[in-house]
A and B are shown apart, each in its own frame.
Chain A
Amino acid sequence: MIPAAFSYKRAGSVGEALDLVAEHGEDAKFLAGGHSLLPLMKLRLAVPEVLVDIGRLGELSYVRADNGDIAVGALTSYHDLAGSSLLARELPLLACAASQVGDPQVRHRGTIGGSLAHADPAADLPAVILALDAVLVARGPSGVREIAAADFFVGLFESALEPGELLTEIRIPRPAAAGWSFQKFTKRAIDWAIVGVAVTGSRVALVNMGQQPVRASAVEQALAAGAAPRDAAALAADGTSPPDDLNGDARYRAHLARVLTARALAEAAARG
């Protein structure tokens, strides 16, 4: 399988990448690691006429402490997130989740920004970013803007990025509470999660329980009202609309969400 024909352009800077995409309009797509986009293109589910390769913009690959936040460049690979000593110390939830995405080969190429911009509800990092209350920084023709993670995932494979905008940085506040956990259930090691749960403190987000990653609001409210974690976890599927597919129906996913949330809350409590 090969993608439909397209024209390949390599950007030497963020400015050049924005110019190239502006020039080609809706026919152009940014290419980061390519591990979401290229498989879709091989299946002809995506047929861009122009690919603007941003993969060599080293300026967008970093993890650093910045004014009380942790700033992560959008082109940082899963491998580099998993191996970051700063994340291991300050944001182990993100490092741990990144170390479980796909397989080593995928983690060498796939990037955090690519995953978030792709907005696949079955991907791990969107839910993690949602739980961490991150802010996403985008650069476009009209300048730089910040988008709260809660406003970023607007639908199935749909983010709040405007045409021509490039996600450049993810800013994550240091979590106040120490407890965290990431749980996911897959049939094979390399599969997307049938359901996943990210917990940091008393914030809980779910992978693959709807059209976009969602916060388990009912669980969070119950915890805030003083419910025991096990009782709160029983509400994990409330207000969600999980998909039916060959990996499991909605009822099975709801059950998994409750079980995995209970495990995640217990693990977070043990760490906290």
Chain B
Amino acid sequence: MKVSVTVNGSPVTAEVPDRTLLVHFVREEAGLTATNVGCDTSSCGACTVLLDGQSVKSCTVLAAQADGRAVTTVEGLAGPDGELHPVQRAFRQEHGLQCGFCTPGMVMAAVSLLAENPVPTEDEVRLGLEGNLCRCTGYHNIVRAILAASEEGAAGALTAIGAVHEEQVS
């Protein structure tokens, strides 16, 4: 079937088999390979992207279910001039990554978390990350990064991304 998804603000249209998963659409049709396939069983969260602003595990969503909607991947967070999103900046400053495999999913889960709860407690951050596994067990710095991003007002930056998408979709 023909699937059209607005990925990071740009329309991507492709003829794909009905059974195509969103993560494969993003990697192979949109050519954006930061989103990783980790466990492939909706456990690890490495494939987390935003679908209409909400975090989802793209290994458990059909591309067809995202047809006509807006998807944001980690590649879509930085500004047009390459300026990092506050969550990305915080992950770098707090060393919120080790091997980096879970990072794109962690960052997107964090962006969704802060959009819903701009000033979370540390417990709320830990609970909000229950769908994301770090195989290096580097959770402490990830949590620190998200708390730091919260202090920087990362939620405001996300709202701006959501608004851009809505404009382009409608």
Contacts and interface: CB of A to CB of B under 8 A. Distances in A.
Do A and B truly interact? yes
Interface in B31-71: 40-43, 45, 48, 51, 54-57, 60-62, 64-65, 67
A105 interface: yes
A35 B64 contact: no
A271 to B, nearest CB: 21
B60 A35 contact: yes
Interface stretch (B15-23, B72-80, B162-170): B15-23
B67 to A, nearest CB: 8
Contact of B19 (A3, A35, A105, A106): A3
A38 B57 CA distance: 12
A4 B54 contact: no
B128 interface: yes
A104 B113 contact: yes
Contact of B131 (A3, A4, A38, A102): A102
A53 B64 contact: yes
A105 B18 contact: no
A122 B109 CA distance: 26
Central interface residue in B45, B65, B112, B127, by most chain A CB within 10 Å: B65
B158 to A, nearest CB: 15
A3 B64 CA distance: 13
A189 B48 CA distance: 17
B1 interface: yes
Contact of B21 (A2, A55, A102, A109): A2
Given A42-B41, A104-B109, A7 B18 contact: yes
Interface in A99-139: 102-106, 108-109
Interface residues of A, number: 28
Given A8-B64, A35-B60, A39-B41, A104 B19 contact: no
A105 to B, nearest CB: 5
Contact of A105 (B64, B65, B109): B109
B9 to A, nearest CB: 21
A197 B1 CA distance: 44
A105 B57 contact: yes
Nearest to B18: A8
B29 interface: no
A1 interface: yes
Interface in A9-60: 10, 31, 34-35, 38-39, 42, 51, 53, 55
B64 A104 contact: no
Central interface residue in B45, B60, B109, B128, by most chain A CB within 10 Å: B60
B122 interface: no
A79 interface: yes
A157 interface: no
A176 interface: no
A190 interface: yes
Contacts of A53: 62, 64-65
Interface of A: 1-8, 10, 31, 34-35, 38-39, 42, 51, 53, 55, 79, 102-106, 108-109, 189-190
5 closest pairs, A vs B, by CB?
A: A103-B131, A189-B130, A8-B18, A108-B54, A103-B130
Given A38-B61, A106-B42, A108-B54, 20 more contacts: A8-B18, A8-B19, A8-B62, A8-B64, A10-B64, A34-B61, A34-B62, A39-B42, A102-B131, A103-B45, A104-B109, A104-B112, A105-B45, A105-B57, A106-B57, A106-B131, A109-B57, A189-B130, A190-B130, A190-B131
